[in-house]
């Protein structure tokens, strides 16, 4: 696994609109000087038909036209991007803006236009005629590459027009968030991880009896959302100082300065130096990310669904798409092992980290949609169908109890929210299908 701080830095760069354009501008500058150095040497032959062979005036006019048009096109592309961000914020929620900011396609488009503009400027300044006080110099290879970059920019512009109209579609947004959810599940819940229940109970027995009385809290130095925990660094600190550390918060939670981060046993070893080291292992930010927070993409899908079924929008089809993606994510999740909260070093318990539970993730996925969609028969039926589908992917009795609980309250809410008898019968049919799937112990499937 990559270092947590490196991952955080990359996430920040990937979410910025300046990083990729800045890199491409540097590459364009290097390309300009490289082409100019080739043009200044006599070892390069330029007898090909496709190489520019015009004079100084033609080269200047050509590069000036390309540079001027690139500035105009870059401004237009930036304006279209801002409009797309505004549409995303109003239609899908402000939490989805981060996904649009991470769109590599838009960043590459802007970088291509700016890079071509910068390239043309650097080449343009080297073109001299006989009347300029310098010997005549026309960088034919460099001008040819400038023409090629202009042609590439036209292709990029066509791509951008298509891309800009695609990324604001609900289906595209929902699919991208769903992919983030599956990636987070694969990253945070590997197939071979976690301890069995007897080992979990053994971890409880290894906690000192006096832990609650003698452990001292280390409090947060920052206020914000906990985005990630450097668990390797925390384990290293615990081993070095012979500590037992219990983490009090998990990624995704909002922490106020002065709030408890961890409990350290024995408390007598807590000092300013240790407090600073442990605080450095906790990474805070202004917003949540999916780096170590699998609940975040679930909440994003739920937000899209809630906006879709609101009276102002009244678009149950988009909500149904979100439910489908949520069910796919939970089908994936129930086949994964949840990591044990007990972390060991050389068979000695060092860190206790209570992670997210399946019941909590299921609540996050279904509760709000159920509450807001109780009077919508299509949404209610799709919720029950989603639960029925998830039930076919697990034989875990705890997971089945959670699914049964949600099916029961969805059925109860539908009886209160739906006025037509026929609609209630349709809902009951789906409910009994869930009961059938939960009673079938041989329906566990493999996830591809």
Residue 369 near residue 420 (C-beta atoms within 8 A):
no
Residue 414 near residue 374 (C-beta atoms within 8 A):
yes
Domains held by the chain: number? 3
Cis link prior to 289 (omega < 30° from 0)? no
Any domain includes 345: no
What's the order of all strands across the beta sheet hosting 342-345?
A: 216-219, 260-265, 244-247, 348-353, 342-345
Q: Are residues 155 and 107 in the same domain?
A: yes
Any domain includes 191: no
Q: Are residues 125 and 10 in the same domain?
A: yes
Phi (first) and psi of residue 107, to 5 degrees = -65, -40
Separation between Cα atoms, residue 307 and residue 204, nearest integer Å: 43
Q: Are residues 22 and 89 in the same domain?
A: yes
Q: Could you give the C-alpha distances from 80 to 27, 75, 83, 162, in angstroms and in order?
A: 25, 9, 5, 12
Q: Are residues 36 and 156 in the same domain?
A: yes
Q: Are residues 371 and 266 in the same domain?
A: no
Any domain includes 181: no
User: Bridge-partner residues for 353, per DSSP?
Assistant: 247
Residue 414 near residue 424 (C-beta atoms within 8 A):
yes
Res 198: pLDDT: 39
Element (H, E) at 245: strand 244-247
Separation between Cα atoms, residue 222 and residue 412, nearest integer Å: 43
Residue 115 near residue 156 (C-beta atoms within 8 A):
no
Q: Are residues 299 and 281 in the same domain?
A: no
Q: Which residue has the tokens 């989603």?
A: 386
Q: Are residues 257 and 328 in the same domain?
A: no
pLDDT digit string, tens, across residues 198-233: 344 455 667 888 888 888 999 999 899 999 998 889
| pLDDT per residue rounded down to tens, the chain (448 residues) | 457 777 777 777 877 888 999 999 999 999 999 999 988 886 555 666 677 777 888 889 999 999 999 999 999 888 888 888 787 777 787 777 777 778 888 899 999 999 999 999 999 998 887 665 566 788 888 999 999 999 999 999 999 999 888 888 888 889 999 999 999 999 888 764 433 333 444 556 678 888 888 889 999 998 999 999 988 899 999 999 999 999 999 999 999 999 999 999 988 888 899 999 999 999 998 888 888 899 999 999 999 999 999 888 888 999 999 999 999 999 999 998 888 888 888 888 899 988 899 999 999 999 999 999 888 899 999 999 999 999 999 888 999 999 999 999 999 988 888 888 888 898 888 888 888 878 765 444 443 3
Separation between Cα atoms, residue 204 and residue 189, nearest integer Å: 22
* 385 Cβ contact list (under 8 Å, min separation 6): 327, 430, 433
For residue 335, the enclosing domain spans 294-340+355-438
Any domain includes 177: no
Res 48: pLDDT: 67
Residue 258 near residue 219 (C-beta atoms within 8 A):
yes
Q: Which residue has the tokens 């769903």?
A: 178
Q: What is the DSSP string of 247-297?
A: E---TT-EE-TT-EEEEEESGGG--HHHHHHHHHTEEEESS--SSS-THHH
Q: Which residue has the tokens 């696994």?
A: 1
Q: Are residues 34 and 150 in the same domain?
A: yes
Separation between Cα atoms, residue 354 and residue 343, nearest integer Å: 11
Q: What is the DSSP letter of 448?
A: -
Structure pTM?
0.84
Helices (H) and strands (E) in the chain, counts: 17, 8
Q: Which residue has the tokens 């869930």?
A: 434
Q: Could you give the C-alpha distances from 5 to 12, 26, 274, 298, 380, in angstroms and in order?
A: 11, 25, 19, 24, 42
Separation between Cα atoms, residue 445 and residue 43, nearest integer Å: 66
Q: Are residues 233 and 205 in the same domain?
A: yes
Phi (first) and psi of residue 181, to 5 degrees = -65, -45
Any domain includes 244: yes
Q: Are residues 206 and 255 in the same domain?
A: yes
pLDDT digit string, tens, across residues 7-57: 777 777 877 888 999 999 999 999 999 999 988 886 555 666 677 777 888
Q: Are residues 11 and 109 in the same domain?
A: yes
Any domain includes 175: no
> Which of 127, 36, 96, 143 lies closest to 300 in space, CA to CA?
96
Q: Are residues 425 and 325 in the same domain?
A: yes
Any domain includes 187: no
Phi (first) and psi of residue 292, to 5 degrees = -130, 20
Q: Cα(first)–Cα(last) distance of the chain, in Å?
A: 22
Kindly report the CATH number assigned to the domain that includes residue 269.
Answer: 3.90.1170.30
A 10 A CB-CB count for 163 gives 18
Any domain includes 323: yes
């Amino acid at each position: 696994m990559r270092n947590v701080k490196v991952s955080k830095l990359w996430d920040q760069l990937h979410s910025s609109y300046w990083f990729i354009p800045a890199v491409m501008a540097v590459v364009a500058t290097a390309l300009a000087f490289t082409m100019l150095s080739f043009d200044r040497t006599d070892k390069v032959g330029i007898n090909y038909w496709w190489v520019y062979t015009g004079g100084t005036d033609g080269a200047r006019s050509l590069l000036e036209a390309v540079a001027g048009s690139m500035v105009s096109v870059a401004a237009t592309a930036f304006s279209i991007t801002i409009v797309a961000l505004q549409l995303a914020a109003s239609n899908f929620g402000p939490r989805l803006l981060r996904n649009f900011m991470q769109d590599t396609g838009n960043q590459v488009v802007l970088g291509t236009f700016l890079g071509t503009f910068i390239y043309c400027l650097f080449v343009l300044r080297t073109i001299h005629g006989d009347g300029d006080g310098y010997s005549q110099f026309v960088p034919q290879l460099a001008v040819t590459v400038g023409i090629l970059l202009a042609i590439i920019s036209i292709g990029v512009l066509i791509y951008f027009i298509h891309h800009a109209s695609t990324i604001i579609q609900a289906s595209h947004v929902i699919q991208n968030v769903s992919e983030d959810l599956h990636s987070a599940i694969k990253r945070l819940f590997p197939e071979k991880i976690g301890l069995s229940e007897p080992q979990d109970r053994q971890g409880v027995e290894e906690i000192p009896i006096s832990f609650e009385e003698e452990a001292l809290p280390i409090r947060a130095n920052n206020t914000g959302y906990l985005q990630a925990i450097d668990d390797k660094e925390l384990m290293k600190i615990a081993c070095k100082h012979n500590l037992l550390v219990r983490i009090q918060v998990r990624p995704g939670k909002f922490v106020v300065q002065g709030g408890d981060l961890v409990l350290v046993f024995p408390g007598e070893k807590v000092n300013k130096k240790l407090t600073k080291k442990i605080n450095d292992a906790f990474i805070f930010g202004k917003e949540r990310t999916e780096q170590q927070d699998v609940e975040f993409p679930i909440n994003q899908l739920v937000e899209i669904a809630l906006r879709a079924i609101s009276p102002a929008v009244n678009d149950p089809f988009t909500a149904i798409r979100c439910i489908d993606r949520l069910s796919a994510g939970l089908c994936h999740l129930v086949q994964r092992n949840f990591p044990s909260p007990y972390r060991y070093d050389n068979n000695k318990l060092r860190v206790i980290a209570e992670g997210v539970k399946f019941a909590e993730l299921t609540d996050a996925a279904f509760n709000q949609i159920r509450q807001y969609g109780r009077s919508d028969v299509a949404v209610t039926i799709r919720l029950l169908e989603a639960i029925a589908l998830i039930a076919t992917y697990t034989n875990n009795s705890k997971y089945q109890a959670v699914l049964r609980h949600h099916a029961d309250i969805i059925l109860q809410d539908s009886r209160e929210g739906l006025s037509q008898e026929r609609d209630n019968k349709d809902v009951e049919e789906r409910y009994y299908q869930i009961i059938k799937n939960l009673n079938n112990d041989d329906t566990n499937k493999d996830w591809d």
